Amino acid sequence: MQTTPLMCLIFLFCTFLYISTCISTSILTPCPLEKSCNQSVVESSAICGLDEDAGCIRKYASTCLMDIAACQKGKAFTDYSNVYCSMESYLCEQTPTYERWTIFFGFEKE
């Protein structure tokens, strides 16, 4: 069977549609801004989520801020609770200097 120019065009068109569909679905929607969250955040609205990559608990002022942080990291916190916030010894450190001193002195936050 001979390949006709029409069949080549149909093949190219289908390939183009497939690639453009794949690209359009892989483009992530931008994460919402922090100002979109409710501004009346109090300590009781704090939520903590388990960061499985770092092996520690991350604390956020609200679920909205936690969702934004998860979006920016490209993952979702599936294991979260306000009860985790009471486990202070497992909270992730926010400053890189702490990690440096921990390595130097050889002890962790109490």
pLDDT digit string (tens) for the chain, length 110 residues: 566 888 878 888 878 777 776 565 545 567 877 777 876 666 677 888 888 888 888 888 888 888 888 888 888 788 888 888 888 888 887 655 555 445 555 555 55
Q: What is the pTM of this model?
A: 0.54
Q: Is 47 exposed, middle or buried (0-12, 13-18, 19+ CB in 10 A)?
A: buried
Alpha-carbon span 86 to 97, nearest angstrom: 24
Alpha carbons 71 and 31: distance in angstroms, whole number: 6
pLDDT at 67: 87
